[in-house]
Structure 1
Amino acid sequence: MGVDSRDGNVEQPLYGEARLYINGQMQFADSHYSNISPATGKVIGIAADASAQDCEAAIVAARVAFDQTDWSTNHAFRLQCLRRFQRAMLRQLKPLQDAVVAEAGSTRHNAETVQVNGPVEMATWCLDYLEQFEWQQDLGEYTLNSLGSTSRRLVCKEAAGVVAAITPWNFPLQIILAKVMPALAAGCTVVLKAAPDTPWSAALLGRIAHGCGLPAGVFNVLTANNAKTLGGLLCRDPRIDVVSFTGSTAVGKQVMSDASGSVKRVFLELGGKSPHILLDDADFSSALLNCLAVCFHAGQGCVIATRVLVPQQRLEEVEGLLCSYFDFISYGDPEAPGAIMGPLINERQRQRVLSMIEQAKQEGARLIKGGGTPDELLQGFYVQPTIFVDETATTCVAREEVFGPVLTIIPYTDEADALRIANDSQYGLGAVVNSADEARAIAFARGIRAGIVNVNNGNFLAPDVPFGGYKQSGIGREMGAEGFAEYLETKTIAIGA
């Protein structure tokens, strides 16, 4: 099962991991389940299948570590431990990449950049932020004249408690680290429940944590085939203080409901249907290249712009450009040099995307590219890069999150119409705006009801930038100072003069 050592030098075997990381130890689960390759549809190994008893053990361990040790208050010690953890991850980039390619279907290039290397390196910002964070603010004295009393006021920041981090399969390592590192840095302890489809990425993090000697109980890793059972246990348990969840809006609503019984804090990063608006003065030939992002990781990204809004009079031009651009998309084996797009995560997701494509045709959307399964890829969970035109903006591919390589072109009449269409969605996660006039683009961006807007090839992704959305795209922010604050409580102490 690999080698565990103090410096975190471990290997990730392709046959997987039958153990869980609980209370500082690697422990065998009573059972395991098969891990399936999205690229071939075949079993590539096993993963530990955590039980309700394993979940209980992880909660107890996290609770004890928070309540009975100085993890939450010894900031210098915590920083030392987490820097050692990050150094160990940096030494294990290749095994982490291999896990993400094998189980998430990520291309090798994506694994080496946004899936693995980038997130591990970006953890530096979080730890630097911890090092300089002010845990107490002295507001000075205030006299309440009606009572004739004077008090000195201190505002203190404290760790929120035990965190349940529930993560998805599309960017398994990146999202895990976006939750776990700030939670641990803030002084919380964590129970991580990884997505069933991507257990190895999480399990390897547990092994690295064990190898580099993180204190017992501060970080616990559960992998399980039945996501709903363990997720529900964590959300409902009163010993959990914070739930941080990334996934679909439908499941997010259930998480919120389950957590309400104990009125625990909930962070939700949910679905999106992001628009890409080309204003009439934009350079269309270059701006439309951004639409190829819908093929990145087979469109399995919540913030990817999947609706492209273009002036009605230039619709035919846009159709021609996009069809020619999509001809250059190479897809197939994630390990193939130059591969841009890999498979969908599993057969269930592939069938869901294909079903939505058929539904869109029946609803009147015009298919101009792709729309099926590649004939040359008989194995794995692939869908062709697909383009629709929906002049009514009413079909399922114009309004619902597909989570596949499907782009919908929607024409607009004028700028006000473009803004109306952009905001006519239950979601409000991201958007893209292109214009030759930067001030015009920024003014338009300010009118969009979304948490993230990229203007003229801008890219929001950075460790100090808060990520999250409006409306049914979620509650709260991840990453940046705002993401760190999700794991803090505020205490006011008033001292009589």
Structure 2
Amino acid sequence: MTLLPDAKLFIDGELRDATGGATFDVISPWTGEVVGKAADAAPEDVEAAIVAARKAFDETDWGSDENRQNRFELVKKYRELFEQNRERLAQLAIHEAGAAQGAVYRAHVNMALDGWDDYLAVFPKVEWEKDYGEKEAFGAIHKRVGVREPIGVVGAITPWNVPLYVNIGKVVAALLAGCTVILKPAPDTPGMGAIFGELAAQAGFPKGVINVVFGSDPAQAGEMLVTDPRVDLISFTGSTGVGKRIMEKGAATLKRVFLELGGKSAKIVCDDAPNFPMEVAMTMLVFHAGQGCAVQSRLLVPKSRYEEAKQILKGAYMHFGDNWGSAEDPEHIMGPVISKRQMERVKSYIDLGVEEGATLLHGGQIRTDKGGGYFVEPTVFVDVTNDMRIAQEEIFGPVLVVIPYEDDDDAVRIANESNYGLSGGVSSGDHERAMRIAKRVRTGSMSVNNGMCIAGDIPFGGYKASGMGREWGVEGIEEYTDMKMLAWPVGQVEAA
């Protein structure tokens, strides 16, 4: 039974079918059944989107200084249209991304739209012109000014886990900067991309400023964007493996690349944490089935309290019980994983953890009793060492690993012995101790005593294999600009 409207491409100001009318099925993670149809873009469609975006940037005043306030107002109008479609956004999050209702109005919709508001709020703080003062050279005095300009055509390649949030993070920042955009959402969640085209048409964006293309082949459109010299910047959120390929393929055109990649973030709970049981229990990896790049999937606890932590987690997971996996229950925050492929991948890591010698404290099963979709029950491993693959590799599912440490130095060592560096956390009753630990962990964001380190008005991004560049905040808008230096003589040096 089809529940979602057909997802259409948006190219050069027009909602349209794919060349030849090809479509592909959108599958519900809840049922494993077809929930909608989406246009299956051909190479000709991607080419048309590139041509449209290039023309809009090169031949209109979209990115000009004079148009800056006008595009700000248009992006505000665009935001209002998304507000009017809040319930539709919720349905897309549920039926495409597999979001449980308790998660929909948090990360999937509310946090995403709040991030849009944050972009609008910080936009006036962007420094479009910077005075570098005067300098004497060659017998003259020179005035130097830096001006910030939009980089050009942006290819925004986005994932399926929290699609609205990531789409907003890229598209809105690029538009405010004055760029034109080609949004390429994941094939699992085309509708959450298509709505950007539909509402852009309603908002009245100039032709070619926003384009949306997607297809059943997860790589085809992205490869075209990455390798085409007419695309100036690629902003990608997804796996580290794909990010490396984008860097490699983009190098031929010296394309700027912004990558927000995987994570294996550690939460360090110190022995003096003021509410040790709560700090341990709240690390249960259940929200949206653990499908988040910045989730804290490694829990580090002191050896002196390790057995206590095991019992706390055992009780917490038992208490959580079967309160997950219903699309109708507004209290549920965990649903299925996105696809059969992902379900099998997560299960393979669970099996690997057992083979590696870790102790399966809770969960570990595929739950066919939940329905025909892709349900993996909440899972936690203890007796884990940091060299195990389940401790080193991103599982992207509801699987938490718990690792003991000796002292603060050991905790920092374990946290840093990872290819990733996206986020993390530390809890201690001594704020200065927590800060010392946080500053030593090599990661792009760190929550100290549950501080909110990820929000739309501050920059977000990773170290090491977790990527490069920053999204959100003023820095997220500036990511889509270049700095041009202007200098001119303003006087002669007086002879001595």
TM-score tier after normalising by the smaller chain length: over 0.9
Find out whether 1:480 has 2:469 as its counterpart.
Answer: no
Q: Higher mean Cα deviation, 172-181 or 317-326?
A: 317-326
Seen in structure 2, the aligned counterparts of structure 1 residues 36 and 389 have a Cα distance that, compared at 3 Å, is: same
Structure 1 gaps of 5+ residues are 1-12
| SS in structure 2 at match of 1:327 | helix
State the match for 2:280 in structure 1.
288
Q: Higher mean Cα deviation, 188-197 or 475-484?
A: 475-484
The one of 235, 238, 243 equivalent to 2:229 is 238
* Alpha carbons 1:390, 1:398 under 8 Å: kept: no
Seen in structure 2, the aligned counterparts of structure 1 residues 188 and 396 have a Cα distance that, compared at 3 Å, is: same
* Alpha carbons 1:18, 1:32 under 8 Å: kept: no
Find out whether 1:494 has 2:483 as its counterpart.
Answer: no
Question: Structure 1, residues 79-123: CA drift from partner, whole Å, max 9, x if none?
Answer: 121111011111111101111111100012221222112212321
Find out whether 1:208 has 2:211 as its counterpart.
Answer: no
Q: Higher mean Cα deviation, 73-82 or 174-183?
A: 73-82
Question: Structure 1, residues 307-339: CA drift from partner, whole Å, max 9, x if none?
Answer: 111111211111111111112332112332311
State the match for 2:385 in structure 1.
392
Q: Higher mean Cα deviation, 337-346 or 183-192?
A: 337-346
Q: Higher mean Cα deviation, 253-262 or 24-33?
A: 24-33
Cα deviation for residue 178 of structure 1 reads 0.3
| SS in structure 2 at match of 1:185 | helix
Identity %: 44
State the match for 1:307 in structure 2.
298
Question: Structure 1, residues 256-275: CA drift from partner, whole Å, max 9, x if none?
Answer: 11110100100000000000
Correspondence list, 1:237-386, <5 A: 237-282=228-273, 283-292=275-284, 294-329=285-320, 330-374=323-367, 376-386=369-379
Q: Distance in 1 between matches of 2:259 and 2:115?
A: 21
Structure 2 gaps of 5+ residues are 491-496
Find out whether 1:450 has 2:450 as its counterpart.
Answer: no
The one of 20, 27, 39 equivalent to 2:9 is 20
Letter in 2 for 1:285: P
Q: Higher mean Cα deviation, 157-166 or 114-123?
A: 114-123
| SS in structure 2 at match of 1:409 | strand
Q: Distance in 1 between matches of 2:124 and 2:16?
A: 33
Cα deviation for residue 18 of structure 1 reads 4.5
| SS in structure 2 at match of 1:224 | coil
The one of 151, 165, 190 equivalent to 2:156 is 165
Cα deviation for residue 69 of structure 1 reads 0.4
Q: Distance in 1 between matches of 2:355 and 2:332?
A: 32
Question: Structure 1, residues 462-490: CA drift from partner, whole Å, max 9, x if none?
Answer: 21111111100001111011111110100
Find out whether 1:137 has 2:130 as its counterpart.
Answer: yes
* Alpha carbons 2:123, 2:474 under 8 Å: kept: no
State the match for 2:493 in structure 1.
none
State the match for 1:45 in structure 2.
36
Q: Distance in 2 between matches of 1:410 and 1:48?
A: 46
How many residue pairs were aligned? 482
Cα deviation for residue 209 of structure 1 reads 1.0
Q: Distance in 1 between matches of 2:304 and 2:133?
A: 63
Q: Distance in 2 between matches of 1:90 and 1:223?
A: 24
The one of 457, 461, 470 equivalent to 1:468 is 461
Q: Distance in 2 between matches of 1:172 and 1:198?
A: 7
The one of 418, 431, 450 equivalent to 1:425 is 418
| SS in structure 2 at match of 1:105 | coil
Cα deviation for residue 414 of structure 1 reads 1.4
| SS in structure 2 at match of 1:83 | helix
* Alpha carbons 1:79, 1:131 under 8 Å: kept: no
Q: Distance in 2 between matches of 1:185 and 1:447?
A: 35
Q: Distance in 2 between matches of 1:311 and 1:281?
A: 10
Q: Distance in 2 between matches of 1:130 and 1:375?
A: 48
TM-score where L is the length of structure 2: 0.95
The one of 189, 193, 196 equivalent to 2:184 is 193
Letter in 2 for 1:95: R
Cα deviation for residue 175 of structure 1 reads 0.2
Q: Distance in 2 between matches of 1:223 and 1:391?
A: 40
Seen in structure 2, the aligned counterparts of structure 1 residues 15 and 92 have a Cα distance that, compared at 3 Å, is: closer
The one of 72, 80, 98 equivalent to 1:105 is 98
Question: Structure 1, residues 417-440: CA drift from partner, whole Å, max 9, x if none?
Answer: 111101000000111101011111
Q: Higher mean Cα deviation, 368-377 or 462-471?
A: 368-377
Cα deviation for residue 392 of structure 1 reads 2.5
* Alpha carbons 1:277, 1:308 under 8 Å: kept: yes
Q: Distance in 2 between matches of 1:194 and 1:237?
A: 18
State the match for 1:10 in structure 2.
none
Q: Distance in 1 between matches of 2:176 and 2:3?
A: 31
* Alpha carbons 1:37, 1:44 under 8 Å: kept: yes
TM-score where L is the length of structure 1: 0.95
Seen in structure 2, the aligned counterparts of structure 1 residues 24 and 435 have a Cα distance that, compared at 3 Å, is: same
Cα deviation for residue 132 of structure 1 reads 4.9
What is the root-mean-square deviation of aligned Cα atoms in Å? Answer: 1.3
State the match for 1:115 in structure 2.
108
| SS in structure 1 at match of 2:402 | strand
Letter in 2 for 1:445: A
Q: Higher mean Cα deviation, 124-133 or 458-467?
A: 124-133
Q: Distance in 1 between matches of 2:121 and 2:408?
A: 43
State the match for 1:154 in structure 2.
145
